[in-house]
């Protein structure tokens, strides 16, 4: 093969852009062997999950200390050693720290906040199954995650700390799906489905695949970020049997895309699983254009398409983490046209109470009537496009003097 061939034989494993991906430091667990560190079960067993453990490893602020004490009744504290190692212990505003270490602010409940902000429980015909949209359902198959995000929409349910009665009935859910022929798409979520064993996941996916009208299966998981060691060749072999299978991962900040996460994502992509990322817009974490641009670039290098940027749901005790909707619009406006189109996620608000995901876009249309649309481009230059009409209706456009076409307004 010529050395300048456009497709070198190892192109899937090629380390393009690898200077941007760093392995995590194992300093806090220097007594662990490399094989222990790389074992996902060891990572789970050694999660940081108590005040005592946390304080052994870092100095907490008084607010964090109080937050951890309250978390036992609300949403557990749990951080994998891998993810914990990304925290800057000297920075109380560290974007990784803000996502997983509770603070006293979680006890402040805004009147607009809810325990079930997107109305999942009221759209649940069978325990563990949410049927809100016409042709697709959400199937919650576990209430556990590798680590717990302080802004989690399902805080009521995950971690088991709040006493929520979560007893998914898989057989009932399968019976519902067999009966509802309009459903063609099932999203497995939780909790994190990839916490289940390979065998269990394989069996759930096989049961779904046995239902002929289900065309499309998806998994929502934060494990490639929290616990990339879980993405083993065996797991990928189990998943690839059930194509078409897509996956939405969840990364919020570029620092989360470590060398290890990149390797896990490469395994999933090599298994033929199309990957998308869902970020949640969080104050002090990713509410700046440069941060989201760097995240988008790293995701694209990992063959992950930035898919959604979510406005943070109105979950109780999340006000300190919610950025204004205007910030989301600013970010989309700062990405669109300024970087690869594949790198621009759709900004959505999940309508409070159960209205569904609703796209919210910066306004590019300045004027529209039957004859024309006037709009601005990403640089603010104004353009006019004549509306398409049948040839017998064609007539010259009436003058429209209010905008200078091609000029920044
Ligand atoms: S991983 Fe997902 S389900 Fe689990 S705590 Fe985070 S946001 Fe919630």
Going from N- to C-terminal start, the domains of the chain cover 9-362, 364-409
Tokens of 91: 């920075």
Interacting residues of 195 by C-beta distance below 8 A, sequence separation 6+: 44, 142, 144, 145, 146, 223, 230
CA of 78 to the centre of ligand 1 (A): 11
Distance CA(74)–CA(28), nearest Å, equals: 27
Pocket test for ligand 1, best of 98, 116, 118, 191 (most atoms within 8 A of CB): 191
pLDDT at 407: 63
Full-model pTM: 0.93
How many CA atoms, within 13 angstroms, populate the side-chain half-sphere of residue 174?
A: 14
| pLDDT value for 165 | 85
Q: How far is the CA of 149 from the centre of ligand 1 (A)?
A: 5
* Closest among 52, 43, 181 to 60, alpha carbons compared: 52
The pLDDT value recorded for residue 397 is: 64
Structure tokens at 206: 């096989």
pLDDT on residue 11: 42
Query: Ligand 1 centre and the CA of 239: distance in Å?
Result: 21
Closest Cα partner for 353 from 176, 168, 120, 30? 120
* Beta pairing partners, 375: 365, 383
Length of the chain: 409
174: Cβ–Cβ under 8 A, 6 or more apart, which residues?
207, 208, 211
How much is the pLDDT for 41? 98
Taking alpha carbons only, the member of 291, 195, 302 closest to residue 252 is 291
For residues 242 and 206, is the Cβ–Cβ distance under 8 A?
yes
Please say if 149 is a catalytic residue: yes
Residues 326-336 as b or e (16 or more Cβ within 10 Å = b): ebbbbbbbbbb
Which atom of ligand 1 is found nearest the CA of 222? 1
For 203, left (φ over 0), alpha (ψ -120 to 50), or beta?
alpha
Q: What is the pLDDT of residue 100?
A: 98
- Counting from 1 in the atom list of ligand 1, the atom nearest the Cα of 155 is 8
Ligand 1 contacts (CB < 6 A) are 145, 148-149, 152, 154, 158, 191-192, 222, 250
- Give residue 16's pLDDT: 80
Which residues does 67 contact at the CB level (< 8 Å), separation at least 6? Answer: 101, 102, 103, 104, 105, 106, 107
Residue 321 backbone phi and psi in degrees, to 5 = -105, -10
Q: How far apart are the first and last CA of the chain?
A: 54
Tens of pLDDT along the chain (409 residues) come to 333 443 343 444 457 888 899 999 999 999 999 999 999 999 999 999 999 999 999 999 999 999 999 998 989 999 999 999 999 999 999 999 999 999 999 999 999 999 999 999 999 999 999 999 999 999 999 999 999 999 999 999 998 888 888 988 999 999 999 999 999 999 999 999 999 999 999 999 999 999 999 999 999 999 999 999 999 999 999 999 999 999 999 999 999 999 999 999 999 999 999 999 999 999 999 999 999 999 999 999 999 999 999 999 999 999 999 999 999 999 999 999 999 999 999 999 999 999 999 999 999 999 999 899 999 999 999 999 998 877 666 666 666 656 677 765 4
Cβ atoms of 247 and 273 closer than 8 Å: yes
What local confidence, expressed as pLDDT, does residue 14 receive? 54
Q: Which pLDDT value is given to residue 391?
A: 67
Give the CATH fold of the 9-362 domain: TIM Barrel (3.20.20)
According to DSSP, residue 43 is labeled: H
Q: Name, in order, each residue with C-beta under 8 angstroms of 41's C-beta and a sequence gap of 6 or more.
A: none
Catalytic residue among 47, 74, 154, 298: 154
Distance CA(383)–CA(406), nearest Å, equals: 6
Question: H-helix or E-strand containing 238?
Answer: helix 233-239
Specify the DSSP element, H or E, that contains 366.
Answer: strand 365-368
- Give the pLDDT score at 10: 40
Residue-level pLDDT at 396: 64
The one catalytic residue in 97, 143, 145, 236 is 145
Burial class for 115, CB neighbours closer than 10 Å (0-12, 13-18, 19+)? middle
Distance (angstroms) between ligand 1 centre and the Cα of 124 equals 19
């Amino acid at each position: 093969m010529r050395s300048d061939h456009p497709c070198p034989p190892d192109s899937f494993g090629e380390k393009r852009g690898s200077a941007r991906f760093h392995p995590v430091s194992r300093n806090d667990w220097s007594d662990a062997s490399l094989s222990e560190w790389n074992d996902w079960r060891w990572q789970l067993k050694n999660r940081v999950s108590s005040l005592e453990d946390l304080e052994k490893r870092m100095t907490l602020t008084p607010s964090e200390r109080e937050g951890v004490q309250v978390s036992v009744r609300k949403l557990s504290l749990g951080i994998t050693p891998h993810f914990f190692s990304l925290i800057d212990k000297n920075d109380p505003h560290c974007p990784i720290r803000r996502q997983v270490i509770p603070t006293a602010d979680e006890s402040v409940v805004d009147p607009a906040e809810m325990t079930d902000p997107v109305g999942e429980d009221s759209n649940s015909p069978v325990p563990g199954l949410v049927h809100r949209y016409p042709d697709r359902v959400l199937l919650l198959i576990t209430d556990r995650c590798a680590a717990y995000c302080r802004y989690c929409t399902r805080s009521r349910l995950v971690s088991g700390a709040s006493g929520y009665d979560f007893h998914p009935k898989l057989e009932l859910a399968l019976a519902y799906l067999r009966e509802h022929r309009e459903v063609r798409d099932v999203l497995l979520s939780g909790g994190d489905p990839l916490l289940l064993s390979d065998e269990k996941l394989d069996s759930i996916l096989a049961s779904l695949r046995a239902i002929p009208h289900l065309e499309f299966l998806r998994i929502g998981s934060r494990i490639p970020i929290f616990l990339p060691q879980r993405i083993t060749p065996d797991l990928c072999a189990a998943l690839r049997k059930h194509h078409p299978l897509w996956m939405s991962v969840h990364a919020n900040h570029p620092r989360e895309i470590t060398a290890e996460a990149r390797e896990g994502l490469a395994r999933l992509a090599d298994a033929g699983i199309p990957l998308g990322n869902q970020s949640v817009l969080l104050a002090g974490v990713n509410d700046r254009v440069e941060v989201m641009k760097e995240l988008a670039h790293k995701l694209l290098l990992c063959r992950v398409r930035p898919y959604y940027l979510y406005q943070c749901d109105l979950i109780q005790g999340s006000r300190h983490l919610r950025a204004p909707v205007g910030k989301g619009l600013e970010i989309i406006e700062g990405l669109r046209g300024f970087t690869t189109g594949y790198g621009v996620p759709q900004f959505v608000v999940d309508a409070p109470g159960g209205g569904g995901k609703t796209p919210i876009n910066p306004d590019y249309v300045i004027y529209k009537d039957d004859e024309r649309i006037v709009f601005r481009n990403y640089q603010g230059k104004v353009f006019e496009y004549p509306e398409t009409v049948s040839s017998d209706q064609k007539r010259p456009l009436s003058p429209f003097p209010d905008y200078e076409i091609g000029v920044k307004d």
